[in-house]
Structure 1
């Protein structure tokens, strides 16, 4: 009887956790450059003094779906989308380096190129500062150029170059801040093969329809686990009644 209770109880607990992960993915279906999180179940035997005849369920985080999202044309000069594999390098508040696919950029009060969350983009020589009263163009290789407003279009000035990286996906882990970092804590080297598209943004790779179907399936699985616990309780009650008659 307790084998059934162990399996059903832990299964229901981790179904709720997987439902939370699925809801998190669904909530970020419109977040620029978001990567869906993947979970799975696995059985773990209960170790004790006797043989491991009991098992419980664990929600194991498989990792991240690194499939690229679709590109959306915006026409905004500060929007960039990483084409194919690769990441934009940003400076985190603690000074370390993080990686993101969200290319919706802005300028700070001091003209520093930042993400919408206020993180500085990393360039060849550190943060990239844009002078005032200029139009901005970002080339495929990440080169940031400016042209003074009202001047000759040929008066192009190269400000810097975005740091574009492409570390192995198996060495990337998602942080609590939503940014990715390397598992071993090393800083990824710039990769000249990574390119960006200006005036475009990458959509989230979360499928709303698939996430809704997953949510319904998880809800039904949770109900099934609850029924198993109810059956275990009913069986225990009937067994007690039979024993009391004896």
Structure 2
């Protein structure tokens, strides 16, 4: 069998992988703070006793585009957007530390500050607990200030500060739960240079027009690979017929 068939098959296989990445990005075009994934592939030359004229396709590690998304004004006191680079530290479901740009926060029934997904937001001393309050304000440095329930209008109390971090993006990866984590598994120390904007949320950095255009391109590439496999099969049948002539 002509190895050309395997070349085309590897291209179609990795093309399907790229389509799944692109579809995942499109599905999260409206997810706050989402960072689109980039399908990384490279050629792997075939080496052997024949002339090295063929290359397979191999998939590299999934890359993340850390370009900031657009800011959307909400006017809500517990909505925050990270300005520039940086992340909000949260506690993942497995108890580990993770990072997010989604700043649509809320206080649950027992006073724990959580993300929209229900993950506890971390401060310098662990998950942030907020006492009953009449009003709440989050400063640019992440400091949470409240007017305690029943207190005078001019009585304010600083509760805790949201841990804002700015890790090296080369040391970050996205795990199966959709959260960003450090590859080495070590907690990232807070960074005083990271600031947040209150009353705003960051949108996804997925460009839907570009993603839809990419989807059509990938579909055409996949069809081309399938046609190449059909051509390889046709050539194989022709060769068999010629060899069968006595």
TM range (shorter): over 0.9
Aligned to 1:231: 231
Cα distance in structure 2, aligned partners of 1:150 and 1:52: 83
Aligned to 1:194: 194
Pairwise mapping of residues 39-78 of structure 1 onto structure 2 (< 5 A)? 39-45=39-45, 53=52, 55-78=55-78
Q: Deviations over 1:132-189 (max 9, x none)?
A: 2421100000000001467543211101000000010101111111111111111100
Identify the range of structure 1 (106-115 vs 128-137) with the bigger mean alpha-carbon deviation. Answer: 128-137
2:83 pairs with 1:83:
yes
Aligned to 2:33: 33
Cα distance in structure 2, aligned partners of 1:130 and 1:227: 61
Q: Deviations over 1:42-99 (max 9, x none)?
A: 1224577x57956421122351000000100001111110000000001122222101
- TM-score normalised to the size of structure 1? 0.94
Aligned to 1:96: 96
Name the SS of the counterpart of 1:145 in structure 2.
strand
Name the SS of the counterpart of 2:147 in structure 1.
strand
Cα distance in structure 2, aligned partners of 1:114 and 1:204: 20
Aligned pair count?
A: 245
Aligned to 1:135: 135
Q: 1:59 to 1:77 in 2, by over 3 A?
A: same
| CA-CA distance at 1:230 after TM superposition | 0.7
- Give 4+ residue runs of structure 1 displaced > 6 Å after superposition: none
RMSD: 1.8
Aligned to 1:5: 5
Cα distance in structure 2, aligned partners of 1:140 and 1:114: 18
Unaligned runs of 5+ in 1: none
Aligned to 1:155: 155
Cα distance in structure 1, aligned partners of 2:76 and 2:51: 61
Cα distance in structure 1, aligned partners of 2:55 and 2:236: 20
Identify the range of structure 1 (38-47 vs 125-134) with the bigger mean alpha-carbon deviation. Answer: 38-47
Aligned to 1:146: 146
| CA-CA distance at 1:108 after TM superposition | 1.5
Cα distance in structure 2, aligned partners of 1:61 and 1:220: 24
Cα distance in structure 1, aligned partners of 2:123 and 2:133: 21
Name the SS of the counterpart of 1:18 in structure 2.
helix
- TM-score normalised to the size of structure 2? 0.94
| CA-CA distance at 1:120 after TM superposition | 0.7
Identify the range of structure 1 (229-238 vs 209-218) with the bigger mean alpha-carbon deviation. Answer: 229-238
Unaligned runs of 5+ in 2: none
